[in-house]
Structure formats: C-alpha cells, structure tokens
Chain A
C-alpha cells in the first residue's frame, strides 16, 4: 500500500503570507505526527494526533502554528504570517499505536522557503 504522502513537496512563499501543508497518513494508522527539520539539524517535534484524543501541541513553536486532523485521517499544518525562520522541511509521520510502541513511518516532507 501507499506510504505517507505529503503535499506540496516544495513551497516558496513571501514573508507574512499564510501556508497550508497537507499530510495523508498510511491507511489504518491511528497516530499522526508533525516534525520540523531545519538545515543540518535533527527533527523537532511539533504536534501529535491519536484517534479522538486531544492533540499534543507541546512542540508548536508559536501561536502562528496550528494543525488539524479531519476524520482521523488527513492532517493540515497551517503557518500564519510566515517568517524567514519558518523555512525548513516539514515532515509528517504516522504509526499504528498498538501496545507500547509502533515505529513511525515518514513522508518525504514539504520543503518550505520563506523569502
């Protein structure tokens, strides 16, 4: 079956504009994660969704960032009033959370460039 799909693969936007990034997780995966990867850095956790539970938003860097997951499947990460420091690769991952742990499967990311 298909893996995690993210769109767009690349996005260039002007400072101050809003952007939406989309993630289609693997079918049947109950957990969905957003991470951010800045140039030469590791992955920084942003937000986590699991079923109907309240999302874990502890990693969102500011109130300009928000995310939603509709119908327990597709997720959208929204960045309002983008800043140059928002430039990064935004990675989505999903997993089937069963028992103590199930490994994350990542999409290829959206490369965001804010000019």
Chain B
C-alpha cells in the first residue's frame, strides 16, 4: 500500500533549539496534515495544508506543502518542554474522495530543559 516516509524517527534536543522533520512519498497528495500525540491521548491536529507550495504557521510551528505534492515539512522554533510528544504527518491521496488519511510512522521528540 501507499506509504509516507517520515524522518527522523526520533529527536532529542535542548530547550530553545529549532526542530525540523519531514515526510516524503512516491504518491501525490491533495492534503497534508501534521498531528501531535501526547501519551495516552489521540492525535491532535496542528496544521493543515491544502495547496501545493502552501506555507502555513501556527505559533512557533511552520509547515509547508511541497510543490511536487509528494512531501511536506514541519518546523518548530525555539522548542519548549511541552513540545515533547510524537509528531505524525498524514496525507490524503489525490485519488481519494473519502477523507481517509495515510499516516507516517511518527517522529518522537524529546526536549531537555
């Protein structure tokens, strides 16, 4: 089946540092989304991207929808301890009309105070 390759798998950084993670695929996507999951909870939407080339910010978070529609990145600036969690990229294939999302494997972020 279709896959999203998300990297890095995990990151351990110092508080205040910037973070970057990305997702790539061999398939074309209509929509890219970034979710964060805290322990024992479901994923929560951070940013949604709907157009190729779109760059969107949400506070310290910035994400972009690649112009080829096959990739996306998420940047977190000036990390803080509450940024700890698992970050997932997710995409809706251009062939899909159901809203079904394909998820990456996740990036586990740890922040050292």
Contact = CB atoms under 8 A, between A and B. Distances in A.
Contacts of B78: none
Contacts of B48: 103
A108 B41 contact: yes
Given A41-B105, A42-B106, A101 B30 contact: yes
B101 A104 contact: yes
B99 A102 contact: yes
Query: Which of under 10, 10 to 19, 20 to 34, or 35 or more describes the interface residues of B?
Result: 20 to 34
Interface in A57-115: 91, 93, 95, 97, 100-109
A43 B103 CA distance: 6
Given A42-B88, A42-B106, A101-B31, A106 B99 contact: no
A68 B84 CA distance: 36
A100 B30 contact: yes
A35 B99 CA distance: 13
Nearest to B33: A103
A44 B90 CA distance: 11
Contact of A4 (B40, B42, B98): B42
B67 interface: no
B92 interface: yes
A101 B40 contact: no
A101 B42 contact: no
B44 A106 contact: yes
B40 A43 contact: no
B43 A31 contact: no
Interface of A: 4, 31, 33, 35, 40-45, 48, 50, 56, 91, 93, 95, 97, 100-109
